[in-house]
Amino acid sequence: MTLDELLGVGPYSLPRREKQALLVEHLNALTAHHAARCRPYRRILDAYGYRDKGLSWAAVEEMPYLPIGLFKEFALKSIPDGDVIKTLTSSGTTGQKVSRIFLDKETSRRQTRALSAIMQDFIGGKRLPMLIIDTPNVIKDRTLFSARGAGILGLSNFGRDHLYVLDDHMRLKVDDLKKFLLAHPDEPILLFGFTFMVWQHFYEELKATSADIDLTRGVLIHSGGWKKLTDKSVDNAAFKKALRAVCGITRIHNFYGMVEQIGSIYMEGDSGYFQTPVFSDIIIRDPYDWSVLPAGREGVIELVSILPLSYPGHALLTEDLGRVVGEDDSPDGRRGKYFEVLGRVPKAEIRGCSDTYAEEAAARGV
């Protein structure tokens, strides 16, 4: 089954055995593809003797993976410089190195199709009037996107009549927000923002101004990390409760993802856990010997995706901790593994658009 055919069957439709067989086929092909086109990647495989063994594995868990930090140190790409149409960078605070991810047309197309399949499963196929909880200044150089800008533009494809609800100084434009809602009186509203910004610049300003804003028709998608909110003793349940109290919104979905595998996002299902779609998967590894841990055990998150053609990002060891909760039996009916993220590996650099923004804002006294 090709990727396009796979996307056509629905992002949460395949049972484990069928999904794993397809992942093995595609990931083996991607490993060979990148070994032939990316010299640094090929040298890593050679150092471990993988190419001598034929670059073919029987299970996803057996395949080689790259530590995600390598994308901060090296320009890893499997395409000629002339085929690069976009360079994405990861989020990071001032002074931190950031990952650079090089995209060609085909990888960008795959990411867009995959993201579209996931979003349609959650919000339907119709483009909705959209509120972006950010400032338009974040979108500047369209050839060199930050993770924050890439996230906004990627999600913007599922909305129309976009309104950035924050001004240049990150203040909520309450009057513009009211006009927007009057212009769309009977339609569902899509909202997108990064978690800390949603809290600090949307929720807290609505609460402080007591503005009469009714978003009972809204669907909020957010992401970017919880470190700063955890410091404020705000967890996912408290976040949802507070937003419901201030504007009536009840449909709120967090998602987990990263610029190194953009398109392969993991949406929070109705069960409260992140769901793996058919074209990507999660593996939890023991931090002491890197063996695979069973469901329920906490370890380091490895992510695999069959989307990246222009860079060797199809199997990545992250710096996040998590655990798989179950597989194919999610209470909301979606198939695939479902999991939770439990934080960062000790001493790992802060990352995530929400957390890095919060760190920089605190440094500026915002």
Q: Residues 283, 270: contact at Cβ < 8 Å?
A: no
54 is written with which tokens? 């034929």
182-238 tens-digit pLDDT = 999 989 999 999 999 999 999 999 999 888 899 999 999 999 877 788 888 899 999
Give the DSSP H/E element, type plus range, for residue 219: strand 218-223
Position 362 scores a pLDDT of 60
For the whole model, what pTM was predicted? 0.88
Position 227 scores a pLDDT of 77
Q: Residues 20, 6: contact at Cβ < 8 Å?
A: no
Position 357 scores a pLDDT of 60
- Kindly give the pairing relationship between strand 315-327 and strand 299-305: antiparallel
Q: How far apart are CA 9 and CA 195, in angstroms?
A: 31
Q: How far apart are CA 335 and CA 332, in angstroms?
A: 9
Q: How far apart are CA 50 and CA 247, in angstroms?
A: 55
Q: How far apart are CA 39 and CA 191, in angstroms?
A: 42
∠ Cα 297 298 304 (to 5°): 100
One pLDDT digit (tens) per residue for the chain, 366 residues: 888 888 788 899 999 999 999 999 999 999 999 999 999 999 999 998 887 778 889 999 999 999 999 999 999 999 999 999 989 887 766 567 888 999 999 999 999 999 999 999 999 989 999 999 998 887 765 544 567 787 888 889 899 999 999 998 889 999 999 999 999 998 999 999 999 999 999 999 999 988 889 999 999 999 987 778 888 889 999 999 999 999 999 999 999 998 888 878 999 998 899 999 999 999 999 999 999 999 999 999 999 999 999 999 999 999 999 999 999 999 889 999 999 999 888 766 655 555 666 666 666 555
Q: How far apart are CA 55 and CA 70, in angstroms?
A: 21
Q: Within the chain, where are the H helices?
A: 3-8, 16-37, 39-47, 70-73, 105-123, 147-156, 174-183, 195-197, 204-209, 227-231, 236-247, 353-364
- Kindly give the pairing relationship between strand 128-133 and strand 159-164: parallel
Position 144 scores a pLDDT of 47
Position 294 scores a pLDDT of 97
Report the percent of the chain where pLDDT is more than 90. Answer: 69
Q: How far apart are CA 129 and CA 99, in angstroms?
A: 32
